[in-house]
Every structure is written in C-alpha cells, then in structure tokens.
Amino acid sequence: MAFAKAKPAQAFFKAGFYGIQGSGKTLTGLLFGEYLAGLEKKRIAYVDTEHGTDFYATAIPERKIHPAAFDFDAVYTRSIVEVCDEIEALDPTKYGVVVIDSITHIWEATKAAYKGKMLSNGAIPVQAWAQIKKPYKKLMSLLLDGQYHVIISGRQGVVMEEDEENQPKVVGAKMKAEGETPYEPNFLFQFRPEWTEEKVQRIAAFVEKDRSGILQGKTLYEPKPTDIDPILRYLSAGEQARFGNSESTAERDAAALELEEDRAKEERRALFEQIKAALLSAQNIAELKTAWSLTNGKRTKLGEEFISKLETIKNTQRTTFVEAA
C-alpha cells in the first residue's frame, strides 16, 4: 500500500434515520428506497423488526402520501444472526436498496443474547462487550461495504451529561443503537413530527450529518426522494469503497505483525551469529575488544538472551587470553 491521489469511492447512498416513534422514518425510508431502487432498476430488501411496514404493503386510497402499495421484499426478524445471514446472502444484481428498520431492536436483541456472568448491578461486564459487538460490527460492515444503497433506521435516545451540581440532565438526542452506528453512514437525518400554524402535522427531517456538505444543517419538510438528487449526482460510478469488518482487519494485522516478528527474530539470530563468530575468531585481547564493539547500539535489538550468551563467550575468551599470557 502506498499513498496515491485521492479519488471518489462512494457509489451508493448510505444514510441513517432516527427519531421518536411516529416521526416518519418508515414512510420516508420506503419513499427514498422506492426512488433509489427505481434508479437502479432493482428491488428493495427490507429488514422489518416490528411489522412496521404492514400497512405500507397494501394500497390505502385514504392515505395522503403514496396511497398505492409499496413494492418491496421483506424479512421479519430481530435476530442479529439471521439479519447478517440474509444480508450476506443478498444478491446485489437483484437488490439495489437495503433498509434496516429498526437497528435499535437489532442492537437490543444483540445485547439480550448475552448469557454470560453479569455484574452485581445487573450490568454487562466490560470484557464481554467485544464479543457482544462482534456480530453487530459484522452487520455494519456488510451494510457499509455493500454494493447497494442503505438506509439504517433507529429509534431516538437521549444524550445525558452532568450539570454543575453533578446531576444528570438531558442535553441532546441520538440514535438509540450501538454507540458508533449513527456516525458510520455518510448521511444522518433526525426526524421529528411538527405542527404547522394550521395545526396540521408534518414530517421534518433535520440533516445532522452530510459528508457532501450539500444539505448539512438543513431541515427537509415532508422530505421527498428528489431532495437527495443533489447528493446522488456526486456518487461515483464505480464500486463502493470497502474496508471490511474489524475482525478481518485484526486478522490481517495479526498475521502481518507475526511475519514482522519472525523477520526480526531472524535478523537478531543472524546478528548474534556474526558477533559470536567474531568473538571466537579473536586471537588476543585487542581483537576481542574490537569484536565486542560490534554490540554497540545493538544491545536492544539483540535482546537480553543473546547479549547474555555473547557476554559468556567474551568472558570465556578473555579468561583464555589472560591465562595464556
């Protein structure tokens, strides 16, 4: 790997939606998903954790927004293992959009799957979190690296901080999921229902994060799929950049570090043999000192074991020369 000129490598719309229940996440996710799938001429793969799409799968003439039935394929589960299996087996030539609704339920089910020892206060031990997060991080990797558009929908949680009197207080809102989830997609929308002056409820989506900078900080009222057209035109035409999951990265790093350690061991042994040969070939005290000077600046590299062996050889040689004199 070497540095090279940067180039765009985001080929798909990867977004997170969060908000309170009833704030319009599911409807907007379907509207955006239908639009993106149409652009790709493919289908929507929808992970539904609470049968929240049931009414959207049927035509309802009285529905003001999109009275026709949405056309999508769904799986109904909260199991992290089942979701990972479904996403991993997904055919990107058939599906152009994946919607997860809601990631909050999947995260909570992932935590609930832990059956190990708990702390006295009922909390999960710190050392257990790495194993708990492992399948969840795999899912996020599959979604973010996948060759399809992704919408990750989650419930809204609160951000707590201590005030001047060390009392907890609510200071903001966040997606209720594993801590890094909302920050991993390129776009993050906070949904909230609002009332107009005419006392009509409408959907408001605040663009909390937009790596393109186009919609950053704006609020989309009754968000329409065409609202993201300015972003879509800047998506690259190639493949989606892939990072892989943290487990595979750790395995590659471990293998590389092991190889580096083997190489370092071989270099230490070769240096040891070189200095050992010089010490053994010395014919007098002066030559012995010259041979020993080869350890200068090399003691750390050689390590205590090899230095100890070389000192034994040096002292044995010195004794021999002294006795001979």
Provide the residue type at 268 as one letter: R
pTM for the model stands at 0.76
Q: What's the pLDDT tens digit per position in 255-314?
A: 777 777 888 888 888 999 999 999 999 999 999 999 999 999 888 888 899 999 999 999
In whole angstroms, give the CA distance from residue 29 to residue 34. Answer: 8
Q: What is the mean pLDDT of residues 243-256?
A: 64
- Name the pLDDT band for 228 (thresholds 50, 70, 90): very high
Beta strand pairing status for 73-76 and 95-101? unpaired
Measured CA distances, 17 to 23, 127, 154, 193, 276 (Å): 10, 30, 6, 14, 67
H helix intervals, the chain: 25-40, 80-88, 103-112, 129-145, 229-232, 246-281, 285-292, 299-324
Q: Is it the case that residue 67 has pLDDT exceeding 80?
A: yes
In whole angstroms, give the CA distance from residue 154 to residue 181. Answer: 10
Q: Which residues of 25-48 are buried (b: 16+ CB within 10 A; e: fewer)?
A: bbbbbbbbbbbbbeebebbbbbbb
pLDDT of amino acid 190: 96
Which residue reads 């293998």 in tokens? 255
Q: Are 279 and 291 spatial neighbours (Cβ–Cβ below 8 Å)?
A: yes
DSSP one-letter code for 182 = G
Nearest alpha carbon to residue 192 among 209, 173, 212, 178: 173
Can you read off the two tokens belonging to residue 220? 């989309």
pLDDT of amino acid 27: 96
DSSP, collapsed to helix, strand or coil, labels residue 264 as helix
Can you read off the two tokens belonging to residue 188? 């993050």
Q: Is it the case that residue 1 has pLDDT exceeding 70?
A: no
More confident residue, 262 or 42: 42
Measured CA distances, 135 to 114, 218, 244 (Å): 12, 34, 13
pLDDT of amino acid 89: 95
- Name the pLDDT band for 49 (thresholds 50, 70, 90): very high
Q: Phi/psi class of residue 220: alpha, beta or left (left: φ > 0; alpha: ψ in -120 to 50)?
A: beta
DSSP, collapsed to helix, strand or coil, labels residue 93 as coil
